[in-house]
Amino acid sequence: MPELPEVETVRRGLLPVMEGRRILEARVNREGLRWPFPPRMAERLRGAQVQALRRRSKYILADLSTGETLLIHLGMSGRMLVSGAMLGGFHHDHPAPQKHDHVVLEMEGGGRVTFNDARRFGAMDLVGTAGAETHPLLATLGPEPLGNSFDGPYLAAALAGRRTPVKAALLDQHLVAGLGNIYVCEVLFRAGLHPATPAGDLGEARAAALVPLIREVLAEAIEAGGSSLRDHRQANGELGYFQHSFRVYDREGQPCTAPGCGGTVERIVQSGRSSFYCPACQR
């Protein structure tokens, strides 16, 4: 599933085509994806201006001039692809319709935004903008890891007393929003922390030190366009490149990248998810 960097990369790619522009036409090609689409979705989108395009955790939110917000979740394989517009100095022609093009938005200025989702685990909903943060998918999310409310004292207090492994704690979307398996593995490697370390054993200083590392990894991943392992594509259809910078994730059996370490990356399973780490560096 796309994590924060992938979703933020898509949002940034959509900005020049969507923000400040009207939706001239909306085509909805099925009744829903993971859940049914809201009633009359195409009609409610048609003619609306996208006043702001923002992100909350792994969700894209398009605030509309109608007083509603279009909430978008990419699911496992969802892609928001742009055509008919200049992106990065290149013009992307409209492609032929594809089988899994479920929602198509014709934008003012000639751009087209297509929501393509082969596995159909994505979602779209319309909610009043004034109460968007109370939507069931958003209401219980923790602070944004790149926001001002996520700082050392907050994280230290949130982890204090927890017996759950630090890996699981950082994946808890109630504690911090948007982090996923890939980036937590990379953060813990840079922090020198074993993923099974009880979160409450870190202490205030080590817990607080995770904050700049989380921001560092996320910023690098966003700059690289996210990580493309299976389905992720940027809005212009290109792959992300951060997977070429992984230090431990998906590198089981390979040498540790830390200078002079000499260790080998190992994999353990925690709560059904693979955790990659170097036992020599992370204790």
Write down the catalytic residue from 3, 6, 106, 186.
Answer: 3
- The 10 Å Cβ neighbour count of residue 267 is 15
On whether the CB atoms of residues 100 and 117 are closer than 8 A, the answer is yes
Write down the catalytic residue from 11, 55, 58, 167.
Answer: 58
Catalytic-residue membership of 2? yes
Please report, rounded to a whole number, the percentage of residues in the chain having pLDDT higher than 90: 77
For the entire predicted model, the pTM comes to: 0.89
SS3 16: helix
Catalytic-residue membership of 38? no
Write down the catalytic residue from 12, 44, 215, 273.
Answer: 273
Angle between helix 152-159 and 203-223 (nearest 10): 120
Catalytic-residue membership of 167? no
What pLDDT score does 243 carry?
A: 75
CATH topology of domain 152-277: Helicase, Ruva Protein; domain 3 (1.10.8)
Strand arrangement of the beta sheet that strand 79-83 belongs to:
23-28, 101-107, 112-116, 79-83
| 215-252 tens-digit pLDDT | 999 999 998 877 755 554 555 555 455 777 899 999 99
> Which CATH number is associated with domain 4-134?
3.20.190.10
How sure is the predictor about 89, in pLDDT bands with cuts at 50, 70 and 90? low
What pLDDT score does 79 carry?
A: 87
Could you tell me which residue, 240 or 115, shows the higher pLDDT?
A: 115
Q: For residues 168 and 152, what is the distance between their CA atoms, to the nearest angstrom?
A: 18
Q: Name the residue ranges covered by the structural domains of the chain.
A: 4-134, 152-277
Catalytic-residue membership of 58? yes
Closest CA to 78 of 6, 131, 12, 126: 6
Q: How far is CA 43 from CA 46, 123, 153, in A?
A: 5, 18, 47
- Which residues, at least 6 apart from 232, have a Cβ–Cβ distance to it below 8 Å? 2, 6, 79, 226, 239, 240
